Amino acid sequence: MSTNLEPIPITSQKHDPAWKHCQMFKNGERVQLRCIYCGKIFKGGGIHRIKEHLAGHKGNAATCLRVPSDVRVLMQESLDGVVVKKRKKQKIAEEITNVNQLSTETNAFSDQVDANPGVLMIERPDAVEPSSSLLVNREGTSNVSGERRKRGKGKSSASEGNALGFPLVELGARRVNNNVHMAIGRFLFDIGATLDAVNSVYFQPMVDAIISGGNGTLMPSRNDLQGWILKKTVEEVKSDNEKVIASWVRTGCSILVNQWNIRTGRILLNFLVYCPEGTVFLKSIDASSVINSPDALYELLKQVVEEVGFKHVLQVITNCEEQYIVAGRRLAETFPTLYWTPCAAHCVDLILEDFAKLEWINTTIEQARSITRFIYNHSVVLNMVRRYTFGNDIVELAATRSATNFTTLTRMVDLRNNLQAMVTSQEWVDCPYSKKPGGLVMLDLVSNQSFWSSCVLIVQLTNPLLRVLRMVGSKKRPAMGYVYAGMYRAKERIKKELVKRNDYMAYWNIIDHWWEQQWHHPLHAAGFYLNPRFFYSMEGDMPNEMLSGMLDCIEKLVPDVTVQDKISKEINSYKNAAGDFGRKMAVRARDTLLPAEWWSTYGGNCPNLARLAIRVLSQTCSTLGLKHNRIPFEKLHETRNCLEHQRLRDLIFVQCNLQLRQIGYDSKQQDSAQPISSESASNLEEWVMGTDTFLDDDTYPDWTTLETLSVIRASHDEMEELGAGFDDLEIFNRVKEGDDENGEDHC
């Protein structure tokens, strides 16, 4: 019978250890196995039967008398492992059954809760009311910890002490599993990763992929990660970038030049390309030796423009230092169809920095800091503040250090009543920290009406500028069609607050000093002109500067004079709201559609003007993008090995592009900025840093006593708040202090 057996090779995909101790044959349509030691043939039972034969397990197969003792032991251990796995699977199946029963009960309870959506408020002092600007309705379970959860109405008790032996809380389709959270925490703590890693949009998919792999899934090795996985990810990122690059033909693009000064003293230039479809990272260059040379900067910028394709580029955005101005203007001469543009975010930040240097504003900021430093260095006080403010922090992180000064003052003004209620409460009187020097200073300031009046005025003067800063860094829409209107509103607000010309001109002059390049920039003027929401809200004629900027863009961005003439004629249709521009749908859509979308939808009768409008309105105004502390640029520029340099270059290419791809995912933003975390140290340090007295006193309760509270704040669309109507010619004309063009005092 054995003479009819046809040998079959055993492939590498067969991982069971018993395959090394048998041979496989085909007998007709049936597969049979033969022991290599005793020659016994098995017509059924598969590899498990062979393993029992070799291990000497009686019952299903005869024992092999010739198997070496070490092989017999190996097969016995393998069989024991199979038994353990079967028992685990049975136990898991039973646990899942129990959990499903629990989930059914929890879901039934959740259905009842969902009928009354809202914020699950914690017990609070009677005198305090929540700030409506900071609290919004929220569905689901409030994240209230410790004692407050116990004081609840037992709503979480149904999920505690379940069959798995750990707290299990239903959150929609997902569950909070403390064992899983601990495992993730130990991993992140061990490798020293930023805890912000959990906010990555790739974090949950990674966890889901591991779960779907099941028990026994092998994790990648270091060689895997820096080998085939990195290579494949580079290919994926390049493929995704190609889809973005393809849109440059229609929308055009902006080259962004990010300057980073790193700890080692190096100065890096990172080059990115923006369009509405997404921002693409190109490369990073060590510019330490050339940063002060306009000629060398020009050559770098010229090389990048040629790499991207000058026909696609509308502008190159850099900082506004002198060397960039010289290099940028020379670049615009070399490529007549593009502009050099100073970064709007950088300019606004410099304005805010100069505002903070004014004596009365600086004094108020220092007084406010004395409050926050005391609060954020004492856990008992911080817990009390969070109870009285319903989980709100009284400091607010912004994109820059200067902006953080004013966003924090805004937050404190919003929570003024809550803080005053706290320092006048019996709880505060009984608190030992109220008697300490910092507590006494805090009581004096929070009770001081003059201090709050100064804070309110500062907020009124700076909030419009903060809105411009958020606007130019917006993830929701390109800023080009809004930036001019945003700065107009900022100056208008300052004028209305201070009324007297001598008063408001002090602030206007600071704005004009840093914003001069922007006021004269044709792209910003054309963005205002081509935004239908603002264009049709103008009373009277469009200011001369707007029209001149628009005409300049036509001549520069459209080199074909025939097309220029066609655009000139089509502008009249736009002015008169003729054709599709005058449709009722088009009129309503002026305030609802993005400007570029509006032109794409209703500009069909003016194709040349519409094409130009879409390209202009699709641009950004700032270089804000990458987070400095996430990318190992130092390693890239310090390595001297060619192969390692190439690998690091690819790694940074992947990291930067994946990070840029996450822009716009705000689902976890409210959780990402903890004021006293090391990640927030740069911009918030002056607001939360402790004095030597705080740091050396071991009697203060430590951070582990802090209560974790969370509030979701309502997000605002900065562009929607710009409104309509632009009729203050003093703002458009930018008359400076001492000028007598209007022949009168503007009081």
Confidence of residue 23 (pLDDT cuts 50, 70, 90): confident
Predicted local confidence at residue 9, as pLDDT: 80
Instruction: Please tell me the total count of domains within the chain.
Output: 2
Q: Is it the case that residue 27 has pLDDT exceeding 80?
A: yes
| C-alpha span between 162 and 698 (Å, rounded) | 40
Phi/psi-derived region of residue 604, left when phi > 0, alpha when psi is between -120 and 50, beta in every other case: alpha
CB 648 within 8 A of CB 639: yes
Q: Is it the case that residue 463 has pLDDT exceeding 80?
A: yes
pLDDT in tens, 55-70: 887 667 788 878 887 7
User: Is position 109 within any domain?
Assistant: yes
User: Is position 190 within any domain?
Assistant: yes
CB 462 within 8 A of CB 406: yes
Q: Of 54, 83, 112, at which residue does a domain stop?
A: 83
* Position with higher pLDDT, 226 vs 738: 226
pLDDT in tens, 337-351: 999 999 999 999 999
Predicted local confidence at residue 151, as pLDDT: 42
User: Is position 485 within any domain?
Assistant: no
User: Is position 308 within any domain?
Assistant: no
Q: Is it the case that residue 422 has pLDDT exceeding 80?
A: yes
Of the segments 92-106, 427-441, 472-486, which one has the largest average pLDDT value? 427-441
Q: Of 24, 57, 83, at which residue does a domain stop?
A: 83
pLDDT in tens, 692-712: 545 445 445 555 566 655 554
Which residue, among 378, 375, 404, 370, has the nearest Cα to 392 in the 3D structure?
375
User: Is position 250 within any domain?
Assistant: no
Predicted local confidence at residue 245, as pLDDT: 95
Which residue, among 262, 461, 468, 486, has the nearest Cα to 346 in the 3D structure?
468
CA-to-CA dists, residue 202 to 385, 463, 662, 674, 710, angstroms? 35, 34, 9, 21, 23
| Alpha helices, DSSP H, located in 473-543 | 483-498, 501-519, 522-530, 532-535
Residues 53 and 107 in one domain: no
Q: Which of 106-110, 307-311, 508-512 has the lowest mean pLDDT?
A: 106-110
CB 159 within 8 A of CB 169: yes
Q: Of 168, 183, 211, at which residue does a domain stop?
A: 211
Residues 98 and 205 in one domain: yes
Residues 16 and 34 in one domain: yes
Q: How much is the average pLDDT of 661-686?
A: 59
User: Is position 58 within any domain?
Assistant: yes
| C-alpha span between 169 and 464 (Å, rounded) | 42
Residues 207 and 95 in one domain: yes
pLDDT in tens, 609-660: 999 999 999 999 988 767 666 666 666 667 777 888 788 888 889 988 988 8
641 phi/psi in degrees, rounded to 5: -90, 125
- The strand ranges marked E within 276-435 are 278-286, 313-318, 339-342
User: Is position 222 within any domain?
Assistant: no
Residues 90 and 76 in one domain: no
| Domain enclosing residue 184, as ranges | 84-211
Predicted local confidence at residue 121, as pLDDT: 39
User: Is position 79 within any domain?
Assistant: yes
pLDDT in tens, 358-407: 999 999 999 999 999 999 999 899 999 998 988 888 999 888 899 999 99
Residues 127 and 24 in one domain: no
Residues 132 and 108 in one domain: yes
Residues 7 and 114 in one domain: no
pTM of the model as a whole:
0.72
What are the b/e assignments for 101-126, b being 16+ CB within 10 Å?
ebbeebeeebeeeeeeeebeebeeee
3-state secondary structure of 448: coil
Residues 76 and 116 in one domain: no
pLDDT in tens, 550-588: 999 999 999 999 999 999 999 999 999 999 999 999 999
Residues 181 and 94 in one domain: yes
3-state secondary structure of 399: coil
Q: Is it the case that residue 95 has pLDDT exceeding 70?
A: no
Residues 91 and 34 in one domain: no
Residues 108 and 202 in one domain: yes
| C-alpha span between 613 and 603 (Å, rounded) | 9
Which residue, among 276, 337, 311, 308, has the nearest Cα to 614 in the 3D structure?
276
